[in-house]
Amino acid sequence: MVSHIGLVGLGKMGSNMRARLRQGGIEVTGYDPRPEVSDVPSLEALVAALPADRRVVWVMVPAGEPTRGVLAQLQAVMTRGDIVVEGGNSHYIEDQERAGELAASGVGYVDVGVSGGVWGLENGYGLMAGGSPEDIATLMPVFDALRPDGPREEGFVHAGPVGAGHFAKMVHNGIEYGLMQAYAEGYELLAAKDLVTDVHGTFKAWQRGTVVRSWLLDLMVRALEDDPQFERLDDWVEDSGEGRWTVDEAIEAAVPLPVISAALFARFASRQESSPAMKAVAALRQQFGGHAVKPAE
């Protein structure tokens, strides 16, 4: 069982995870390129500070090149019996590739999808893990410290072998896209109708007893309390990649995902100052039916 781990990446989530782990009785040595938040000056120093019999390093940096770079450095300094935990949002295929590379040196690899955001320190983190049963059992004290209070199965799952954790998190984020889009469309329709004079109050009244209550709804109420008409925000919405991967996997498996796909495409639409496609539709309507169009300004 593990009682002391290294944690690479002390941003918003990483620093909160360090704090929650320490509250749960896990000793944590953290490394970050920013000296003011780091416990040690380098990755090598972090690994050297861990128990020599079995070192565990949890990587919590952005997916892509930052994660690849950290894993490459760790591969050079970790040895047989050690375990690397990748807690970002890497693609599951990359997890499988990295696990194979580390296995050649006898180093274990576990991928963990982590949900909870900036509220995780207080509420705990939902965890979806992929890896061998042996590595998962070794890490269970760490997972128990991070997950929400209550039954383990309501905040943690060993989803399957390496890659399964991030695949489950990918689908989780795809579902999140659809849920957020549904709340957003409901908000817009309520706000468009003069009949409903208290949009914020309507959302607030849905928080208890209704079938649409959820933590996302609670956050929607909180956002409306802070900015009732979202006047301080632009309508430009980013996507972090998991929604695209979810749709890609659905196409590969011939699984229809109309809601998640539409939510992803709505984010694309949010970034357009004007729509070439809708200009084409207007032109076609004018061509075949002589319908009125609005001249460009």
Predicted local confidence at residue 145, as pLDDT: 98
123 lies in some domain: yes
How far is Cα 108 from Cα 293, in angstroms, rounded to an integer? 62
Give a yes or no: residue 187 inside a domain: yes
Identify whether residues 94 and 206 lie together within a single domain.
no
210 and 136 housed in the same domain? no
In whole angstroms, give the CA distance from residue 87 to residue 91: 11
- pLDDT at position 291 is 82
Domain count, the chain: 2
Q: What is the pLDDT of residue 289?
A: 83
How far is CA 120 from each of CA 20, 148, 155, rounded to the nearest angstrom? Answer: 8, 8, 12
Residues 152 and 236 in one domain: no
169 is catalytic: yes
For residue 216, being part of any structural domain is answered with: yes
Predicted confidence at residue 92, as pLDDT, reads 97
Same domain, 148 and 259: no
Active-site residue, 176 included = yes
Residue 42 within any structural domain of the chain: yes
Is residue 283 included in any domain, yes or no?
A: no
215: CATH: 1.10.1040.10
Same domain, 11 and 97: yes
Q: Which of 12, 86, 101, 169 is catalytic?
A: 169
Domain-embedded: residue 291: no
Instruction: Kindly state whether residues 124 and 190 are assigned to the same domain.
Output: no
Residues 77 and 142 in one domain: yes
| pLDDT at site 79 | 95
User: Residue 15 is part of which domain span?
Assistant: 4-161
Q: Does the pTM exceed 0.85?
A: yes
Which of 144, 161, 178 is the last residue before a domain boundary? 161
Edge-to-edge strands, sheet with 27-31: 27-31, 4-8, 56-59, 83-86, 108-115, 126-130, 156-160
What is the full per-residue pLDDT of the chain (297 aa) written as tens digits? 899 999 999 999 999 999 999 999 999 999 999 999 999 999 999 999 999 999 999 999 999 999 999 999 999 999 999 999 999 999 999 999 999 999 999 999 999 999 998 899 999 999 999 999 999 999 999 999 999 999 999 999 999 999 999 999 999 999 999 999 999 999 999 999 999 999 999 999 999 999 999 999 999 999 999 999 999 999 999 998 999 999 999 999 999 999 999 999 999 999 998 899 989 999 989 899 888 888 888
219 and 139, same domain (yes or no)? no
Instruction: Work out the widest C-alpha separation in the chain, in whole angstroms.
Output: 79
Identify the active-site residue in 176, 193, 242, 249.
176
